[in-house]
Chains A and B, each alone.
Chain A
Amino acid sequence: MIIGAPPAPEDRDRGGPGTPLLDVRGLTKHFGGKGGLFGKAKSGVVRAVDGIDFSVAKGETLGIVGESGCGKSTTARLVMQIIRPDAGDILFDGEAVGSQALSLGDFRRQAQMVFQDSYASLNPRLTVEETVAFGPRVQGAKPAAALAKAHDLLHRVGLEPRRFAGRYPHEISGGQRQRVNIARALSLDPRLLILDEAVSALDKSVEAQVLNLLLDLKRDFGLTYMFITHDLNVVRFMSDRIMVMYLGKVAEFGPSEPIFEKPGHPYTAALLSSMPSMDPDHRTQEAPLTGDPPNPIDPPSGCRFHPRCKMVSTLCSQAEPRLSTMGEDHLAACHLADPQSGHPRLAAA
């Protein structure tokens, strides 16, 4: 099952094309603080991910952006079950992860992750080919077959096996190491690849090569990506849809172009205009946001963004905005996007 050509996509596509590959409902993770099962949580609880819903369609790239501490990496780790969610359902191709139909092991074979630190995520004592062949071998492939597969994958990610197969991680560059990590992630023929800041540590000229490689692999292997980054240029290039997170909540969700052209949440707008200008005659004159992202311990009441928001009204500190429809498949958690919210600026408009 592992060796040779990956199983035909139609064999594995159990839910059909209409079923999202990943469907996440009410995902929640709070760190620290000991609350009883039904009791109130004590203070000091970090609300890293606080009840988020999203889905990833088959074959798409979902970009996740936000400042540090917004919960984007925690979301990835929760999906992979590297850390256990406190609450929430994760459906993979229509089946609950960890259920009878889809055991955790089965799920993890189909979902793989690539991390930011290319060096720390490799075993320094394994050569490049051993690293890539490791997964298939553990899954019962014959050593020769696993090695042949590793060589094929190394070739696919642009590392000529004859030159690179026998090298150790410290003998290759950061860009090459990240290619090894990508090859390893592909070694079990996954359907979902979670890329957590996978190109952030690379030099710009190398980053472009790896992004192009990811596009090629996605097409050739029929992959679905969750692409987490703080670089908005990269996310725009890579993503079909984008989820903007703020302090453990979804601030905005929708197709990439509408979000960049006409952001529905003031936070998304501020994030976009924080990108350095590329025009020497029109440098940024005023910072769109002041201060650092607030601490997810004890987040602000109502809309979590309200203390930094230019459009704030008293309503914003009292009521939490719901996700309102901005356009087709485009949602924003802002009172201004909700005609029924009673935000004073709506009446003025």
Chain B
Amino acid sequence: MSMTAEPIVEAVGLTVDFASAKGPIRAVSGVDLSLKPGETLALLGESGSGKSVSLRALMRLHPSSAKIGGSVRVDGRDVLAMSARELSAYRGKIVSMIFQDPGLAFDPVYRIGDQIAEAVMRHERVSRAEARKRALELFERVRIPSPERRLDNYPHEMSGGMRQRAMIALALACRPKVLLADEPTTALDATVQIQVLLLLRELQREFGLAIVFVTHDVGVAVEIADRIAVMYAGRIVESGPCADVIRNAAHPYTRGLLSSRSHGALGKDERLKAIPGSPPDLAAPPPGCAFGPRCESFAEVCGSAMPDNVVVSSSHIARCVRLAIRNSSQPGG
């Protein structure tokens, strides 16, 4: 990963609005993302934080009723301006996605090998035999046992872990530059999850992929990511290099997430440090900082306006008024 490389994914002021019975809901409100080739960014957040909605916006997978605002540029192209034809050439070839449930990502009535070959033939002018050869190479690459035979499997004939590997093979079939991963290991057993994470790390090095990896699990983010962006109520509240965010969490929400994990030995009758309350209703968000009502350091100023990004250290930023106050009282700090 070179520091001078141009970003391959760049989203600025990304917003996504959905219509609902209660009125419009702003699921993503002003997300900035920047990703260089070969880099992995983890979007970490709880359900409803907007992490998956942001991810899907990069590929324009939302129904047409959803309104996407801001700008999204991937590999030099303006994604939000693409026509239907341009989009279908873009999806799978430049950017592809893997999902939580590979059972839903595959068509149940076609053999997996044929589905991969079909994707290759759609984007590249190759014969069926060549496309099939590519599918076999990919199956070997993602280490599916007896790959030749497995190409002829239907999705239901594979176990969960193997289906996930097959979906990774499908996603990489046309050698995309960016891989979007939406909780691909959440439904897997821990023993299989770690295998898939290691495989993704290996493939990334080999193909120079940029990966955006959505997860709710801090541990998974640590295993996969170069950088972590923590999302809450449609915004990135903290982002920075993985080690900085984990060891030196600046936003109270990130700190809360880290300390509510039960890990290691705890004394008998010890309690977890839980974050009180639950995430806000996006149809009626609280005024000011969305995390305010659950925050242990809530102050009056937090209720007045959404805090701006504050620089914690070189590339580590967080949206918290407390940090701005601390920074201004330490000139040059």
Residues of chain A touching chain B, judged by Cβ–Cβ distance below 8 Å, are 67-68, 173-176, 203-209, 211-212, 215, 230, 232-234, 236-237, 257, 260, 270-271, 274-281, 283-293
For residue B246, CB closer than 8 A to chain A, the reply is: yes
- How far apart sit A348 and B273, CA to CA, in the bound complex (Å)? 47
Contact indicator B243/A276 (Cβ below 8 Å): no
Residues of A within 8 A of B219 (CB): 275-278
Do the beta carbons of B223 and A284 come within 8 Å of each other?
yes
7 nearest A-B residue pairs (beta carbon): A276-B219, A208-B274, A237-B262, A208-B260, A203-B46, A280-B243, A205-B275
Query: Which residue of the partner chain, among B159, B220, B257, contacts A292 with CB atoms under 8 Å?
Result: B159
A276-B220 contact given A233-B263, A257-B265, A292-B161, CB 8 Å threshold: yes
Q: Are B190 and A232 in contact (CB under 8 A)?
A: yes
Contacts of A286 in B (CB 8 A): 198
Give the size of the chain B interface in residues (CB under 8 angstroms).
Answer: 44
Given contacts A204-B257, A211-B262, contact A287 B274 (CB under 8 A): no
**B121 sits at the interface (CB 8 A):** no
Could you list 18 A-B pairs, sorted by A, with CB under 8 Å? A67-B191, A205-B46, A208-B275, A211-B262, A211-B274, A212-B272, A215-B269, A234-B262, A260-B265, A275-B190, A276-B197, A278-B222, A278-B263, A284-B197, A289-B195, A291-B161, A292-B161, A292-B162
Instruction: Please determine whether A274 and B193 come into contact, CB atoms closer than 8 angstroms.
Output: yes
The answer to whether B216 has its CB under 8 Å from any CB of chain A is yes
Cβ–Cβ contact B223 & A274, under 8 A: no
A203 to B271, CA, bound (A): 17
Determine whether B278 belongs to the interface, using a CB cutoff of 8 Å to chain A. yes
Query: B147 on the interface (CB 8 Å rule)?
Result: no
Residues 150-171 of chain B, each 1 if its beta carbon lies under 8 Å from chain A, else 0: 0000000001111000000000
Residues of B within 8 A of A287 (CB): 191, 194-195, 198
Smallest CB–CB gap between A76 and chain B, Å? 18
Chain B residues numbered 31-84 whose CB sits less than 8 Å from any CB in chain A: 46-47
Contacts of A175 in B (CB 8 A): 278
Residues of B near A233 (CB, < 8 A) are 261-263
Q: How far is the CA of A134 from the CA of B50 in the complex (A)?
A: 37
Q: Is the CB of B145 within 8 A of A291?
A: yes
Q: Which of A204, A207, A271 contacts B191 (CB 8 A)?
A: A271
Bound Cα distance A278, B228 (Å): 13
Produce 1/0 per residue, B241-256, CB < 8 A to A. Answer: 0110011000000001
A293 touches which of B191, B220, B272 (Cβ 8 Å): B191
Knowing A204-B260, A292-B161, say if A279 contacts B222 (CB, 8 Å). Answer: yes
* Residue with the greatest number of chain B CB neighbours at <10 A, chosen from A174, A286, A289: A289
Within 8 Å CB of B220, what residues of A? 276
Chain B residues in 8 Å Cβ range of A260: 265
Q: In the complex the two chains form, is A230's CB within 8 Å of B198's CB?
A: no
The answer for the CA separation of A212 and B272 in the assembled complex, in Å, is 6
Report A151 CB to chain B, min CB distance, Å. 21
Interface status of B208 (Cβ within 8 A of chain A): no
Chain B residue, CB-CB nearest to A175:
B278
- Nearest-neighbour CB distance to chain A for B271, whole angstroms, equals 5
B12 at the interface (CB under 8 A from A): no
Determine how close the nearest CB of chain A comes to the CB of B287; give it in whole angstroms.
21
Residue of A whose beta carbon sits closest to that of B246: A280
| Contact pick for B46, options A204, A209, A215, A281, CB 8 Å | A204
| Interfacial chain A residues near B195, Cβ < 8 Å | 287, 289-290
Question: Which residues of the partner chain A approach B278 to less than 8 Å between Cβ atoms?
Answer: 173, 175-176, 206
Q: Which B residues are in CB contact (< 8 Å) with A206?
A: 46, 274, 278
Give which listed residue, A212, A271, A283, contacts B190 with CB less than 8 A.
A271
Query: What distance in Å separates the Cβ of B294 from its nearest Cβ neighbour in chain A?
Result: 8
B159, B190, B261: the one within 8 Å of A204 (CB): B261
Query: Are A278 and B194 closer than 8 Å at their CB atoms?
Result: no
In the assembled complex, which residues on chain B have CB atoms less than 8 Å from the CB atom of A281?
243
Q: How far is the CB of A109 from chain B (nearest CB, A)?
A: 29
B137 within 8 A of A: no
Identify the closest chain B residue to A295 (Cβ).
B159
Check A67–B262 contact: CB distance below 8 A: no
> In chain A, what residue has the closest Cβ to B247?
A280
Nearest chain B CB to A230's CB is how many angstroms away? 6
Q: Tell me which residues from 163 to 185 in chain B have a Cβ below 8 Å from any Cβ of chain A.
A: none
Residues in B neighbouring A292, C-beta threshold 8 A: 159-162, 189, 192
Q: In whole angstroms, what is the CA distance A293 to B261 when docked?
A: 26
Please indicate the chain A residues that have their CB under 8 angstroms from the CB of B243 in the complex.
280-281
Q: Which residue in chain B gives the minimum CB-CB distance to A173?
A: B278
B148 interfacial contact with A, CB 8 Å: no
Complex CA gap A234/B323 in Å reads 32
Q: Is B266 located at the chain interface by the 8 A CB criterion?
A: yes
A285: chain B residues within 8 A (beta carbon): 198
Asked whether B324 is an interface residue with its Cβ less than 8 Å from the other chain, the reply is no
- A204 / chain B contacts, CB cutoff of 8 Å: 46, 216-218, 257, 260-261
